[in-house]
Structure 1
Amino acid sequence: MVGGVIQVLGELLITVGLILILFVVWQLWWTNLESDKAQADAVDQMKQNFRDSGSLDDSGKGPEDPIIGEAPAHGQGIGIMYIPRFGEAYERPVIQGTGRDVLDTLGVGHYESTAMPGDIGNFAVAGHRQTNGKVFDQIDKLVTGDRIYVRTAQGYYTYVFRNNEIVLPSQTDVIAPVPGYPGEEPQDRIMTLTSCNPRFGSTERIIAYAVFEGWQPNSAGPPPPIADLVGKDQ
């Protein structure tokens, strides 16, 4: 009798172990495959939309005086993010919203209450590290001075990475117009990247800050560091 119970318990533990292994494989492998395909399709669609929209009137607009696009509806595309530090082939869609419908499939999500690319204030985004495309897997590898590029229908916005910090999930003031100082009037153009920390956990958040460096219209072509990736067929 006792031996039979032990055998049943042993079989149950083996079954549970197999289920957990399959779950981990699904999380760390299959969700990335699915998300990579969805994100690549979204990038291709945005590039097509940019071509179809043609060049905007950018007369009188200089590198420090960017055109600011209007925020789209939830789930709609804002632009494409390029971070050379994350690899020469890194290009990910930036989508409006930070719900699971965006982050679990479409990549980088834009906090809807924050600034648009190039605007004064805080252009804040979120992304996963190890699952669902792991768009910010290497966020901890950014080095001061690294460039982050965001391409929209208006043009290319360049930000320069400044520093990162680790905070608790409750510290939402990191996406305030002036990060860390809610209620203060912004004077600068900031980008904030947020993701889970540690790499295989979510008890903390890792925050990366970058400052605006400049802007150029699509008609000027991409900045040299990402020209090959953007391609001649922009």
Structure 2
Amino acid sequence: MRVPVVQHSTRRRSARRRRALWSGGELLVTVGVVLLLLVVHQLWWTNREARRGAERKVEALERQWGNGGTAGDNADSGDTSTPSATQHPSTNTNTGSGTRQQTTTARQSRPNWSRAYAVLTIPRLGLRVPVAEGVSKQNVLNKGYVGHYRGTQQPGQAGNFALAGHRNTHGEPFRYINRLRAKDVVQVETKNATYTYSVDKTLPQTSARDSGVIRPVPRSTVKPGYGYSEPGYYITLTTCTPEYTSRYRLVVWGKLVSMRPR
């Protein structure tokens, strides 16, 4: 019987193939672990840290307002005014002796760039989050804050108080704003007053470049059937959609219904 002869070169080739397969397998496992850690970091750790930071900022603002302090955001170029009750039919306040209409105009300072200066509360979503000036990801949104579009109005002012927030990761404060319905309450607290808005309309999806939704009289330039045609006191909430993408924008609008001085 003939015995097969295995040459040394054949053995070496087989050993090299085994080493290559082993090394490739190790590389794939390493890449998989790294990707898993990145996912955990994005979906869990960033949310945890951003939410904790946002909660601490809300508490700090409330302490400063309670002590009569300024909340850390002084005027940088003068004051802007918010409407008085005589300028808007619904801005009444309740006192121990009944309902008393406000006749003085509330004043508020322009917030400094990237600094938290207000608190947004949405009871339906169990949300209570700081509002900061600007929509920078690094300096505002990634901290778990909601950002105010610079150039739009401030809380309670005639025009459009427009906000942006993450829908996923970094605290994801606006993850569930698609659940808001007409007449749901949205409140904005500043060191001077609490402004209450009532949800009015929702635009489920529009282009990320649809600047019409944050204009003083908000109306979509992509879907003109969504929006308003008359001046008013509006709030706009914007976030990315669908979830885990940034291709489109989801928009929720509301109208001011009351203003209560602090």
TM-score over 0.5 for the alignment?
yes
Match among 21, 27, 35 for residue 6 of structure 1: 21
Shift of 1:103: 0.5
The percentage of counterpart residues that share the same residue type is: 33
Structure 2 residue ranges without an equivalent (≥5): 1-15, 70-81, 92-101, 222-227
Measured after TM superposition, the shift of residue 84 of structure 1 is 0.8
**Aligned-partner residue type, residue 132 of structure 1:** H
Q: 1:180 aligns with which of 219, 224, 247?
A: 219
Residue 125 of structure 2, aligned match among 81, 86, 89: 86
- Report the counterpart of residue 225 of structure 1 in structure 2: none
More helix by share: 1
**CA distance in 2 between partners of 1:61 and 1:103 (Å):** 33
Aligned twin of 1:189: 233
Counterpart AA for 1:16: V
What is the DSSP-based 3-state SS (H/G/I as helix, E as strand, rest coil) of the residue aligned with 2:140?
Answer: helix
User: Could you say what secondary structure the match of 1:194 adopts?
Assistant: strand
Q: Does the CA contact (< 8 Å) of 1:177 and 1:186 recur in 2?
A: no
- Equivalents in 2 of 1:11, 1:113: separation in Å? 53
Distance across 2 between alignment mates of 1:61 and 1:163 = 24
**Partners of 2:18 and 2:216 in 1: CA distance:** 65
Which residue of structure 1 lines up, in the alignment, with residue 170 of structure 2? 132
After TM superposition, give the deviation of residue 180 of structure 1 in Å.
Answer: 2.6
Pair 152,186 (structure 1): closer, same or farther in 2 beyond 3 Å: farther
Report the alpha carbon displacement of residue 155 of structure 1 after superposing the two structures with TM: 1.0
Work out whether 1:154 is the aligned partner of 2:189.
Answer: no
Contact residue 92 and residue 135 of structure 1 kept, 8 A: yes
1:202 to 2:246 alignment: yes
1:139 & 1:189 partners in 2: Cα distance? 20
In the TM superposition, what are the counterparts of 1:1-234 in structure 2 within 5 Å? 1-53=16-68, 61=85, 63-64=90-91, 67-87=106-126, 90-100=127-137, 101-165=139-203, 166-180=205-219, 187-218=231-262
In 2, are the aligned partners of 1:70 and 1:116 still within 8 Å (CA)? Answer: no
| Aligned partner of residue 8 in structure 1, secondary structure | helix
Q: Which runs of 5+ in 1 are unaligned?
A: 219-234
The alpha-carbon deviation at position 32 of structure 1 amounts to 1.0
Deviations 1:67-102 (A, max 9, x none): 252321112222111101102xx2111111110211
- Measured in 2, the distance between the counterparts of 1:17 and 1:39 equals 32
The CA deviation at 1:53 is 2.1
2:155 match: secondary structure: coil
What CA distance in whole angstroms lies between the structure 2 residues aligned with 1:169 and 1:180? Answer: 14
Counterpart CA distance in 1 for 2:154 and 2:230 is 14
TM-score (normalised: structure 2) = 0.74
Give the SS at the match of 1:69: strand
Match of 1:221 in 2: none
Post-superposition shift, 1:37?
A: 1.4
Between Structure 1 and Structure 2, the one with more strand by share is 2
Residue type matched to 1:34 in 2?
A: E
Equivalents in 2 of 1:190, 1:196: separation in Å? 20
Shift of 1:2: 3.0
Q: CA deviation at 1:185?
A: 9.7
Whole-Å separation in 2 of the counterparts to 1:35 and 1:23: 16
